[in-house]
Structure 1
Amino acid sequence: MARITLEDLGGLADEPLEEDEEEPADGAEQTRLFSHWETVASSHQVTLPPEMADPIVQMTQHRQVREPVPYVTLLQQEKCGEVAYEDRQYPAGKWACITKGEPMYEQSISMGFMKLMRYICKENSIGRYLGMTVPVVNEIHLNEEGTELLRDVTTAYYLPGEFQPDPPLPMDPEIRIVERQPLRVITRVFYGVTTEESILREIRLLWELLGSTDTVLHEAYMVAAYENPSVPQRRNEIWFIRRAE
């Protein structure tokens, strides 16, 4: 399978509709939407699979504001008058997760998120659109030298608040519902596309800001994606995971 980025599939909708409003797309509109995203995909040397047509329409029809994953900011560290990084606490919560181990990072997150997208868009036990949350988080691991990403990448979608007590079950056996424990992270914003090269660069930059410390993991990190691919300098974050105290 050719490459398509998470951001290309995760940012299909920007204008809010009423929650229950769902205007059926006619054949011409569905073709137009799919053609648009084929063009986006082709810019990343990708063939968009036909089974993504309906999820694309569903995401477009439900263009409500995305629900943020809840967190508390514990500390902001400034440098030259700007926030260099934040220390955050995320509460325990239920996430839909899928792990892929493709040859390239972009392939793993793409294939994983396309499956999550179908889960969000009615391929679940209640047969309805669940709503989008941000960020979508990708957990990555580095080799011992810290020079390369390992193949396995876990892509995670936070269940909206109304589904936290009783998450709908996925139809896809590769997707699992995980109750994650509270998570404390050091996070730094960066902008643009996410590739293995850009991720490794951002990890190095945050290490330079933090200096030597054993309070965070050295082998596991998270990449958080927030925005629509039409935004040239879209927002992402690199997360360093605090060790349990």
Structure 2
Amino acid sequence: MALISLEDLDGLEDEEVDNDITDNPEPMEDDEQQRLYTHWQAIASTHQVSVPREMTGPIQELTQRNQAQEREQVPFSSISRHEKLGEVLFEERVYPAGKWACITKGEKLYEQSISMGFMKLMKFICKENSVGRYLGMTVPIVNSIQMLEDGNGFQKDILTAYYLPAEFQANPPQPTDPDITILQREALRVITLTFFGTTTEETIMPQINLLWEMLGPSEEMHRNSYMVAVYDNPGVSCRRNELWFIRRDP
């Protein structure tokens, strides 16, 4: 906590979907499927990736499910909030240990990596798993980045992670895609900064610099690794993201 990226989780705000939402959503008509596919392809093109035709089913599933607001918040505890003139500057939180489905991609651009990774996670969420069912959407999707040695950019490999819903934490479904791994991640204590808009290396770097300016020199935070949490669909005009600084000791 691109694309199609996690950001595309939120549903198509400006699009109408007339199907009723049930445990097994009714199939869309071919023209509706094509409209959705074209919409997602347009989004993906802004991140210089293409959406394979095999994504039509997962796109339909997530779109219909999102109409019913079927999203589960990744659990956390708020430790403190730092405000100025009534505006929250940053927040400190603890995320408990839990199981995440993770995939690492190393494309040329950050936004390409998170887009390609999230498309694979979409298929895992939408029935390409050992229980053969839709697992449910959780937010945010979290992308982990490592800095280059000079601190002026990101390393290519980006890990994209989807928190398994509460009902699957004890006994997680296994992915059919060998690129996806179920990981037990330790508790995480983070400082979070909210920002809005697109998530690319060019938009994230200023947020990293801004949060360091707010915090001042600190040995308590990692300087070579950060996380970007994404909540909203790119179709949203002012979509919400968070930059997470990671404390060395949770």
TM-score (norm 2): 0.91
Give me the whole-angstrom Cα distance separating, in 1, the residues matched to 2:177 and 2:21: 28
Counterpart of 2:5? 6
Asked if 1:218 corresponds to 2:223, the answer is yes
CA contact (8 A) 1:76 1:83 kept: yes
Asked if 1:30 corresponds to 2:33, the answer is yes
Q: Which runs of 5+ in 1 are unaligned?
A: none
- 2:153 pairs with one of 130, 148, 151: 148
Letter in 1 for 2:29: D
Using CA pairs under 8 Å that are at least 6 residues apart, name the structure with larger relative contact order, 1 or 2. 2
Question: For residues 173 and 7 of structure 1, do their structure 2 counterparts lie closer, same or farther at Cα, with a shift above 3 Å needed?
Answer: closer
Asked if 1:81 corresponds to 2:92, the answer is no
Of 154-163 and 72-81, the range deviating more from structure 2: 72-81
The Cα shift of 1:98 comes to 0.2
- 2:192 pairs with one of 182, 187, 199: 187
The Cα shift of 1:38 comes to 2.2
Of 79-88 and 149-158, the range deviating more from structure 2: 79-88
The Cα shift of 1:121 comes to 0.6
Give me the whole-angstrom Cα distance separating, in 2, the residues matched to 1:43 and 1:88: 32
Letter in 2 for 1:32: R
TM-score (norm 1): 0.93
Give me the whole-angstrom Cα distance separating, in 1, the residues matched to 2:52 and 2:125: 17
Counterpart of 1:49? 52
The Cα shift of 1:23 comes to 1.3
Alignment identity in percent? 54
Letter in 2 for 1:101: G
Counterpart of 1:167? 172
TM-align CA RMSD = 1.9
Counterpart of 1:109? 114
Of 89-98 and 75-84, the range deviating more from structure 2: 75-84
Letter in 2 for 1:172: D
The Cα shift of 1:7 comes to 4.8
Give me the whole-angstrom Cα distance separating, in 1, the residues matched to 2:20 and 2:181: 29
CA deviation string 1:208-229 (max 9, x = no partner): 0000000010100000000121
Of 141-150 and 108-117, the range deviating more from structure 2: 141-150
For the residue of structure 1 that corresponds to 2:11, the secondary structure is coil
Alignment: residue pair count: 243
Question: For residues 211 and 143 of structure 1, do their structure 2 counterparts lie closer, same or farther at Cα, with a shift above 3 Å needed?
Answer: same
What is the correspondence of 1:88-107 to structure 2 with a 5 Å cutoff? Answer: 88-107=93-112
CA contact (8 A) 1:228 1:234 kept: yes
CA contact (8 A) 1:125 1:169 kept: yes
Letter in 1 for 2:34: T
Q: Which runs of 5+ in 2 are unaligned?
A: none
